[in-house]
Amino acid sequence: MRKSISNMYFTATAVLLIAGILVMGLVQMYLSVSYFVDERQEALTSVVEVAARQVSRLEPDEPLPRLDTDELDEMGERLELIGDTSASTLLMADADGRILLAVGAPGASGKTLPAELLDKAAGGETCFTTDTLGGIYSEKYYTAARMLTDAGGHVRGYIAASTTASATNAYVADMFSTFVLSAGLMLLISSILSAVFTNRLTSPMRHIAEAARKFGSGDFSVRVPVEGDDEVAQLALTFNNMASNLESIDSSRSNFMGNIAHELRTPMTSIKGFVDGMMDGTIPPELHRHYLGVVSGEVGRLTRLIQNMLDISKLEAGEYKVNARSYDVWESITGAALAAEQRIENGSIQIEGLVPDRTFVYADPDLVHQVVSNLLDNAIKFTPEGGTIRFGVRKAGGEVTVSLWNTGAGIAPEALPFVFDRFFKEDRSRGLNAKGSGLGLHICKVLVGLSGGKIWADSREGEWCMFCFTLPADPPRRSRGK
């Protein structure tokens, strides 16, 4: 079964939290027990030191077994007072380890301290151990012991102080209970907070997944809410931008198909109407030649439309290889003007600015020739009889700007931003020239982009229109090391 991100995140958080709590608990347990044992050792060592001083004051040069009954009773009272005060058991033994006095452990009298303890205490320093002292105690005790010597360094006996180790168990049990309660409360609070934060973290992801599913169904209008400025918010913002682009592309594709259908249907309808008219006799034979000329024009229009569509497809698919080189841009301008010479004369159009002055650009001559030809064709169609078309070339810095200006109705300000869109024809609403395919200017935009330049239009409605594009004047500089 596939786990969701929220489940995996919550599981990972829970595992890390539990592992952290366990490690923290073990470390705390170890440190606490070590501290407790060290505290017991320090306390028992102090008790042994006090008891040793009391014993040393009583006949300091006599071995402990030689003490009479009164001296032992007096020593017993002193040790009992120390034992009551420190809540510990005190043992006093002779040089052989046999216990002479046992305060707090009546059954220990007469028993012998284990040899291991005596060996540890033989160095004169207080030693510490945790055991039953060879069976003297029925359970484990913490015991501190030291050796007693006389002025000559001879062993008088031993003094030991003990306290039960069961206190440690009780301490550990209490601490464990507290730890379990704290850990449980911590896990509960952490689980609630983790669930809340996980939901907040994965909620945008769920929105994105839902939007992606709608995209798969063809709905490109859905958007993901963007909250904050973190990585998830950036992802949602990127997703929304992608959605807008997809919606724009889908809308453009729909418009493209509609425009294609319209552009193809109009000339085909005309062709069919004229051919049917000639076949059924509606058009008399003496007019056949005239209408065949009209049909030929419509066929030429269809051919240009299809060729333009193929050109756009190749250009946008990156199938055209740009063969850029340095050459005089006036070669393309004069070539396009000479090719359109007959149309210019038929329209009685005045040409200005066609005064070649060698200006080099770094571009593909074929691409630039097609751009100039398309712009000139557009200018001829919209320049009234007796109007003017003016060419211009200007170099500034590393760019060369080519301009084509013509008199005429111009372009409405609201239409300027769209003149380079595919199938855009302002004349549909203005009643102007309707013979174009609406692809020429779009092709110019793509070609200029491939050449490394930019193109734009300017106009004063009812007076003039001008198209400009730039080209690089020099080859691009190569980076060092390449």
Give percent of the chain with pLDDT exceeding 90. Answer: 16
Assess whether pLDDT exceeds 60 at residue 432.
no
Cβ(473)–Cβ(398) under 8 Å?
yes
Q: What is the pLDDT of residues 365-376, one digit of tens each?
A: 988 998 998 899
What is the C-alpha to C-alpha distance for residues 391 and 474, in angstroms, rounded to an integer?
Answer: 22
* Average model confidence (pLDDT) across the chain: 81
What per-residue confidence (pLDDT) applies to 375?
Answer: 93
Q: What is the pLDDT of residues 393-418, one digit of tens each?
A: 999 988 999 999 999 988 888 888 88
Assess whether pLDDT exceeds 80 at residue 297.
no
Q: What is the pLDDT of residues 302-322, one digit of tens each?
A: 776 677 667 666 666 666 677
Burial class (CB in 10 A: 0-12, 13-18, 19+), 432: middle
Among 14-18, 155-159, 348-352, 365-369, the range with the most confident prediction by mean pLDDT is 348-352
What is the C-alpha to C-alpha distance for residues 140 and 423, in angstroms, rounded to an integer?
Answer: 99
CA distances from 379 to 335, 373, 387, 407, 454 (A): 16, 10, 10, 9, 19
What per-residue confidence (pLDDT) applies to 1?
Answer: 44
Does this model's pTM top 0.85? My answer is no
- Measured between alpha carbons, how far apart are the two ends of the chain, in Å? 53
187 vs 454, residue with greater confidence? 454
What is the C-alpha to C-alpha distance for residues 344 and 360, in angstroms, rounded to an integer?
Answer: 27
Sorted by sequence, the CB contacts under 8 Å of residue 169 that are 6+ apart come out as none
What per-residue confidence (pLDDT) applies to 438?
Answer: 63
What per-residue confidence (pLDDT) applies to 482?
Answer: 46
Assess whether pLDDT exceeds 60 at residue 235.
yes
Assess whether pLDDT exceeds 80 at residue 130.
yes
CA distances from 260 to 158, 248, 253, 309, 437 (A): 114, 18, 10, 9, 9
Assess whether pLDDT exceeds 50 at residue 129.
yes
Assess whether pLDDT exceeds 70 at residue 424.
no
Domains defined along the chain, listed by start: 5-170 (3.30.450.20), 231-316 (1.10.287.130), 325-472 (3.30.565.10)
What per-residue confidence (pLDDT) applies to 331?
Answer: 93
Cβ(205)–Cβ(221) under 8 Å?
no
Mean pLDDT lowest for which of 82-91, 233-242, 297-306, 425-434? 425-434
What per-residue confidence (pLDDT) applies to 31?
Answer: 83
What is the C-alpha to C-alpha distance for residues 91 and 413, in angstroms, rounded to an integer?
Answer: 112
CA-wise closest residue to 82 among 54, 119, 114? 54
| DSSP assignment string, 262-325 | HHHHHHHHHHHHHHHHHHTTSS-GGGHHHHHHHHHHHHHHHHHHHHHHHHHHHHHTT-SPP--E
What per-residue confidence (pLDDT) applies to 3?
Answer: 59
Position 42, amino acid: E
What is the C-alpha to C-alpha distance for residues 336 and 354, in angstroms, rounded to an integer?
Answer: 11
Position 151, amino acid: A
The tokens describing 246, both together, are: 């997809």
Assess whether pLDDT exceeds 70 at residue 60.
no
What per-residue confidence (pLDDT) applies to 471?
Answer: 95
What per-residue confidence (pLDDT) applies to 51?
Answer: 86
223 vs 465, residue with greater confidence? 465
Average pLDDT over residues 176-198: 81
Contacts of 472-477 with C-beta under 8 Å, sequence gap 24+, read 472/361, 472/362, 472/363, 472/398, 472/399, 472/400, 473/360, 473/361, 473/362, 473/395, 473/397, 473/398, 473/399, 473/400, 474/326, 474/362, 474/398, 475/324, 475/326, 475/362, 476/362, 476/452
Could you list the beta-strand ranges (E) of 38-164: 89-94, 99-103, 127-131, 141-149, 155-164
Assess whether pLDDT exceeds 80 at residue 91.
yes
Sorted by sequence, the CB contacts under 8 Å of residue 432 that are 6+ apart come out as 382, 409, 426
Average pLDDT over residues 328-334: 94
Strand partners, 363: 325
CA-wise closest residue to 402 among 460, 448, 338? 448
433: confidence class by pLDDT, cuts 50, 70, 90: very low
